């Protein structure tokens, strides 16, 4: 007889709200994002290597986790390019997709991502959806906090637009001129909109930059979701608990 593992309980006695990252936590869109990032960076790096007569080194999932995941799109581009010793002008958010600037590359990545959503759709993690319903039924507020500016598109495609009490995404952060993850600003603003004290709120993240943000914000509990084999890094960067799936949590 197999004895089930005890669940980590997010009780109303300790917590008033749980704030979830989107990609990789609620929706299985990390595959969509990786496909878009890889198409973007491999295309750009191949062209650059050809121009400079240098070897081409492809973009990998490990590099996505280290330099890109969880960060605002343009910051992720700058971070990865710096890791390759490449410095580009930031440009302007209105830059055309063929403009060799951080913004130009970011706008091209966004097109690749949206094409992936249209082609492949959006999958959700059922245990995550079940947990959110369970939390809300037990009087615990829920928010989605993401660097993505495509949050509403993803929620609509996944048919979960009404799942959260508060949605705070990359568009909100840009409007308020807030610094993205690993800074805690977006999580703190989401907690404020929920009307809860961060010390009585939980952050759930699958990105290193995300658990860093939760820790920096003074949240009562930071949970890392290890879907990419980075459990140790999540723990070292601020996660109090690391789980493989949100089925390990309960209200």
Task: Please say if the pLDDT value at position 3 is more than 60.
Answer: no
Taking the C-alpha atoms of residue 103 and residue 144, their distance in angstroms, rounded to an integer, is 25
Residue 116 lies in a domain: yes
Q: Is residue 178 part of a domain?
A: yes
The answer to whether residue 10 scores a pLDDT higher than 90 is yes
Point out the domain boundary residue: 88, 120, 152: 120
For the ranges 31-35, 164-168, 217-221, the lowest mean pLDDT is seen at 31-35
Tell whether 127 and 235 lie within a shared domain.
yes
Catalytic residue among 13, 16, 21, 92: 21
- Which band of pLDDT confidence, cut at 50, 70 and 90, is reported for residue 5? low
Q: Where are the beta strands (DSSP E) in 41-150?
A: 141-145
**CATH code of the domain containing 99:** 1.10.150
Is residue 149 a part of any domain in this protein?
A: yes
* Element housing 228 (H / E): none
Does 130 share its domain with 227? yes
pLDDT (mean) for 96-100 = 96
Do 147 and 239 have their domain in common?
yes
What number of H helices and E strands is found in the chain?
Answer: 10, 8
Q: If you average pLDDT over residues 201-215, what whole number do you get?
A: 96
The first and second tokens of residue 104, run together, are 């130009």
Of residues 225, 155, 151, the one with CA closest to residue 186:
151
206 is catalytic: no
- Partners of residue 223 on adjacent β-strands: 204, 241
Evaluate whether residue 155 is within a structural domain: yes
Q: Looking at the structure, tell me whether residues 71 and 172 fall in a common domain.
A: no
Domain final position from 120, 149, 172:
120
Give the model's pLDDT for residue 33: 86
68-83: average pLDDT = 92
Cα(220)–Cα(199) distance, integer angstroms: 4
Q: What pLDDT is recorded for position 121?
A: 87
Task: Check pLDDT > 50 for residue 84.
Answer: yes
Nearest one of 9, 2, 3, 1 to 131, comparing CA atoms: 9
Mean pLDDT of the chain: 94
Judgement on whether residues 22 and 44 belong to the same structural domain of the protein: no
Same domain, 211 and 191: yes
Q: What percent of the chain stands above pLDDT 70?
A: 98
pLDDT band for position 88 (cuts 50, 70, 90): very high
* pLDDT score at 6: 63
Q: What was the pLDDT predicted at 158?
A: 93
Map residue 99 onto helix, strand or coil: coil
Residue 223 lies in a domain: yes
Element containing residue 241 per DSSP (H, E): strand 241-243
CA distance 1 to 234: 32
Q: Over range 235-239, report the average pLDDT.
A: 97
36 has a pLDDT exceeding 80 = yes
162 carries an active-site annotation: no
Q: Quote the domain boundaries for residue 167.
A: 8-28+123-250
Average pLDDT over residues 85-113: 96
Q: Give the per-residue pLDDT at 4.
A: 43
Query: Does residue 3 lie in a domain region?
Result: no
Q: Are residues 242 and 138 in the same domain?
A: yes
* Within-domain flag for 1: no
CATH code of the domain containing 23: 3.40.50.1000
215 in Cβ contact with 222 (< 8 Å): yes
The rounded distance, in Å, linking the Cα atoms of 231 and 141 is 27
Does one domain contain both 159 and 98?
no
pLDDT digits (tens, 9 = 90+) for 44-65: 999 999 999 999 999 999 999 8
| Whole-number pLDDT of residue 70 | 78
Please state, in angstroms and as integers, the Cα–Cα distance from residue 154 to each residue in 87, 114, 235, following that order: 31, 9, 28
pLDDT band, residue 144 (cuts 50/70/90):
very high
Contact 145, 172 (CB under 8 A): no
User: Among 13, 16, 23, 92, which one carries the catalytic annotation?
Assistant: 23
Whether 224 and 234 have beta carbons less than 8 Å apart is answered as yes
Spatial CB neighbours of 134, under 8 Å, sequence gap ≥ 6: 250, 251
Considering its fold, how many domains does the chain have in total? 2
- Cβ neighbours, 10 Å, residue 206: 27
pLDDT at 7 over 60: yes
46 and 105 co-located in one domain: yes
Average pLDDT over every residue of 149-177: 94
pTM of the model: 0.81
What three-state secondary structure class fits 182? Answer: coil
| 19, 129: one domain | yes
Q: Which of 77, 104, 120 is the last residue of a domain?
A: 120
Please determine, for residue 43, whether its predicted confidence score (pLDDT) is greater than 50: yes
Residue 196 inside a domain? The answer is yes
* 83 shares its domain with 159: no
pLDDT band at 2 (very low <50, low <70, confident <90, very high): very low
Residues 116 and 127 in one domain: no
């Amino acid at each position: 007889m197999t004895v089930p593992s005890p669940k980590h309980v997010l009780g109303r006695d300790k917590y008033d709200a749980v704030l979830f990252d989107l990609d990789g936590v609620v929706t299985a869109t990390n595959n969509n994002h990786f496909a878009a990032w890889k198409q973007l960076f491999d295309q750009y790096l191949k062209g650059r290597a050809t121009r400079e007569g240098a070897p081409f080194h492809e973009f990998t999932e490990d590099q996505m986790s280290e330099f890109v995941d969880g960060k605002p799109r343009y910051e992720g581009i700058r971070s990865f390019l710096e890791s390759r010793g490449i410095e580009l002008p930031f440009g302007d958010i209105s830059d055309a997709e063929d403009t060799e600037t951080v913004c130009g590359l970011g706008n091209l990545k966004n097109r690749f991502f949206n094409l992936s959503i249209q082609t492949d759709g959006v999958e959700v993690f059922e245990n995550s959806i079940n947990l959110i319903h369970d939390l809300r039924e037990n009087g615990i507020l829920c928010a989605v906090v993401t660097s993505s500016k495509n949050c509403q598109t993803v929620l609509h495609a996944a048919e979960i637009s009404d799942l959260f009490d508060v949605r705070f995404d990359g568009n909100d952060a840009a409007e308020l001129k807030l610094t993205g993850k690993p800074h805690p600003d977006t999580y703190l603003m989401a907690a404020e909109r929920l009307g809860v004290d961060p010390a009585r709120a939980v952050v759930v993240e699958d990105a290193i930059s995300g658990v860093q943000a939760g820790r920096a914000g003074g949240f009562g509990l930071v949970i890392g979701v290890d879907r990419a084999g980075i459990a140790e890094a999540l723990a070292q960067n601020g996660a109090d608990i690391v789980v493989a799936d949100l089925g390990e949590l309960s209200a």
